[in-house]
Amino acid sequence: MSEFINENPDILDENLLPSRKEEEGDAFQDEALNTVNLLRRKRLLKIHQTTACKVYRNVELIDRLKAQEMALDQVPDLTASETEESDEGEPEDPIDAQEIYDMIAHISDPEHPLTLGQLAVVNLPDIEVSESNDKSKISEVLVKITPTITHCSLATLIGLGIRVRLERSLPSRYRITILLKEGSHQSENQVNKQLNDKERVAAACENDQLLGVVSKMLSTCK
C-alpha cells in the first residue's frame, strides 16, 4: 500500500489499555518476596523512574512466579478421589467483556504497526456479552468497532479479523455480532451486512490472500 489512508491516527499507550485488575493472590505473592527481590526492584525504579518499563515488569513477573511456586510447594497433593471430585464439580468460567477485549485488543491494524486497542478501534465499553446460564443454549457477544476515519476502506477487513479471532477462541455456543459503531463510517449499513453475512464471511475465509492478511493481523495476539 503506497499511501496511508489515515497517516496521523490517535494512539493510546498500550500500558494504559483496560485490563483485569490484579487478583488478591498477587498481593500475597508480593509479601512473599525476599529482601533481595525488593532491592532489585528499587534499583530498577531508580534507573527507569517508572514501573511501566518492560525490564521492571519482566522482573516483577519472575518474582511473582517464584513466590507462587514457593506457595504451591507448601500445598499438599490431592488424593485420587479428591482430584476426580474436583474435575467433576469444576464450573466453566463465564466470559465477560474484559475477556473479549483481551482477545481482540492486540490484533494488529492492517495499515499501521499498531494494535486495534492502541488505535481505539476496539473499546471495552463497546463490548457486550449476554451469557446464558444454560450451557446448551446460545450466548451472545456484540462488538462495536470504531474506524479511525469515516471513509476507512479497511473497516471490513478489521471486522473480519475480529470475527476470525473470536470464532477461533470462543466455544461454538457463542453467537458473534460485529458492528460499526453508530455514525463512525459513511458506509455503516453496508459494512455491517458484510461482517454478519455467514456466506460472505465463509467465502472471505476461503480466499488464501485475504486469509494471509488476517493471519498476519492475528500474529500479535497474546
Model pLDDT, residue 3: 46
Inter-CA distances, 105 with 46, 109, 181, Å? 31, 10, 16
Q: pTM for the whole thing?
A: 0.67
Do residues 74 and 67 lie in contact, with contact meaning Cβ atoms separated by under 8 Å? Answer: no
Do residues 181 and 148 lie in contact, with contact meaning Cβ atoms separated by under 8 Å? Answer: no
Does residue 184 surpass a pLDDT of 70?
Answer: yes
74 vs 31: which has the higher pLDDT: 74
Model pLDDT, residue 162: 97
Model pLDDT, residue 6: 55
Confidence at 183, pLDDT banded by 50, 70, 90: very high
Interval 77-86 mean pLDDT: 61
Give the tens place of pLDDT for each residue, 138-160.
999 999 999 999 999 999 999 99
Q: Where are the domains of the chain?
A: 24-89, 92-218
Model pLDDT, residue 159: 97
Does residue 13 surpass a pLDDT of 90?
Answer: no
Rounded distance between C-alpha atoms, residue 212 and residue 15, angstroms: 28
Model pLDDT, residue 25: 47
Nearest by Cα to 5 from 127, 158, 134, 128: 158
C-alpha cell at 211: 486469509
Place of cell 499501521: 112
Does residue 172 surpass a pLDDT of 70?
Answer: yes
If one looks up domain 92-218 in CATH, what number appears?
A: 3.30.300.130
Give the tens place of pLDDT for each residue, 17-54.
888 765 444 544 555 556 666 666 666 666 665 556 66
Query: In what side-by-side order are the strands of the sheet with 139-145?
Result: 122-130, 139-145, 174-180
Give the tens place of pLDDT for each residue, 111-141.
888 999 999 999 999 999 998 888 889 999 9
Model pLDDT, residue 2: 41
Confidence at 169, pLDDT banded by 50, 70, 90: very high
